[in-house]
Chain A
Amino acid sequence: MRSAAAKVLGVMLALTACDRFPRDSRDTLERVEHGELRVGVIEHAPWAFGDDGPEGGPRGADAELVRGFAEDVHAHVTWRRGPAGELFISLERGELDLVIGGIRKDTPWKKRVALTRPYYADRVIASSPGENALLLRLERAIEPRRKLVNDFLTEASR
């Protein structure tokens, strides 16, 4: 009993020491870094809309956050537009890495995909389920950009 507890404690200390913890169940973050970030876009102004953003991507608050994240992890984004249900199913299967478009934190899909914390009111970004490292990295990208998003949205509503 005591030695088992010591082992668990030892493993935990070892884990805090290494920077690759938590890891993803499908190694999504490792694949995305210096690679391709696959993002599903639900057309929904002012969160993600149109296709006249930088490099043919959508404009909007969610789109800006995704670009910020991609910049942090040196990824290039491929956008896929479609109906919400289709995109969420792809996300659940690991065929997409993120889904954006003004998703609310109480979305009926919340049990089947991962969600960030709300970054503005109750708006969140959906992330591939089981990918703890991806979600953590995404949240770290969103955190310093909250103010940017706020300014962007106040400007848009004017």
Chain B
Amino acid sequence: MRVPADREDLHRKARRVAWISIVYLASAATLLALVMGDSQALKTEWVDDLVSIVPPLAFIASSRVKRRAPNAKFPYGYHRASTVAFFAAAVCLLGVGGYLLFDGVSKLVARERVTLGVFAIDGHVHWRGWLGLSAIAYSAVPAFFLGRAKRKLARKMSDLGLAADADMNRADAVSAGAAMIGIVGLGLGWWWADAAAAAVISLDLIWDGWTNVKRAVHQLMDERPETVDDEPEDLPDKIAWGARALAWVEHAAVRLRSDGGVLVGEVFVVPRGPVDVRLLVQATEKLQQLDDRLNLVVVPVGELPVANATA
């Protein structure tokens, strides 16, 4: 399969950002685990950070697998690996979010009152909530900037998995705000603030999980290629116009799908007369020049076979 050449350095950059994310999220999760005490909001934030490690891990794992050459067992190559990783990460997110929502709401219903305890420095005793707030700040601020960097890379690479990861990092920053409000509310004597904040954070996880499961399933169902902003790509139209512009072509229709950053599909052409093989080869080369992600097959047919292809 044809892999876009100039993306090599983008890939390297994306892998580096993924590694930074993993190390940083692991440190944030460790810090939160140390200070969370009985706070449900901090516990939820901790799990949030833990599951946020999955998408960059999946990205790194799949970025190695997806570049393997096609073989007899996998004749279409391994590009779908990234979609599979993306799907797994999304399902994981949805499940964890559901569990945390249940956990938070049951604490609200049970009217559990949380006490955070204290820590001492040099014989001076302070409220533990301050540690919690610092840990949340540590977990939120860099996540916001990592999210922005990933979003930019995802748009350049048209990588939906990376885009989803970026969204999650940015959502982490928002949910951290909720966790902070929960801890401050707890400090103001509102017994429900902690669990309520936890429930809000888990709703955010569920929302992330749900939208990404949907996206992943759509890709596995061979949805038309879409940009990271969920807009349809205009490539099928361009290819069809390009094919129809050829002198020997009467009608043309295009069917495209996205295989983890590589666009695969067929160009059906109804020729005006008998077709020379060299014309087919030329047409394929010309049409593939429209985008370096394209892997096209030009098929001469008697009549256009698919009603729903771009004709």
A contact residues vs B (CB 8 Å cutoff): 1, 4-5, 8, 11-12, 15, 21-25, 27, 111, 114-117, 127, 129-133, 135-136, 139-140, 143-144
Q: Do the beta carbons of B123 and A144 come within 8 Å of each other? A: yes
Q: How far is A115 from B116 in the complex, measured between Cα atoms in Å?
A: 10
User: Is B265's CB within 8 Å of the partner chain A?
Assistant: no
The 8 Å CB contact of A127, one of B115, B174, B188, B191, is: B115
User: Is B180's CB within 8 Å of the partner chain A?
Assistant: yes
Q: Shortest 7 CB-CB distances between A and B: which pairs? A: A130-B113, A114-B115, A23-B189, A22-B187, A25-B191, A129-B113, A139-B118
Q: How far is A147 from B120 in the complex, measured between Cα atoms in Å?
A: 16
B contact residues vs A (CB 8 Å cutoff): 38, 112-118, 120, 123, 125-127, 129, 133, 144, 173-174, 177, 180-181, 184, 186-191
Q: Nearest Cβ distance between residue B120 and chain A, in whole angstroms?
A: 6
Chain B residues near A111: list those with CB within 8 A: 38
Chain A residues near B112: list those with CB within 8 A: 129
Q: Do the beta carbons of B186 and A135 come within 8 Å of each other? A: no
Instruction: Report 8 cross-chain contacts, Cβ distance below 8 Å, ordered by A residue.
Output: A21-B187, A21-B188, A115-B117, A127-B115, A135-B117, A136-B118, A136-B125, A139-B125
17 further interface pairs, Cβ-Cβ under 8 Å (given A5-B177, A130-B113, A132-B115): A11-B184, A15-B187, A21-B188, A22-B129, A22-B188, A24-B189, A25-B189, A27-B189, A114-B115, A130-B115, A131-B113, A131-B115, A132-B116, A132-B127, A136-B118, A136-B126, A139-B118
> Given the known A-B contacts A1-B174, A4-B177, A22-B186, are A114 and B117 also in contact in the complex, defined by CB atoms under 8 Å?
yes
Q: Nearest Cβ distance between residue A49 and chain B, in whole angstroms?
A: 27
Q: Nearest Cβ distance between residue B101 and chain A, in whole angstroms?
A: 20
Q: How far is A103 from B261 in the complex, measured between Cα atoms in Å?
A: 61
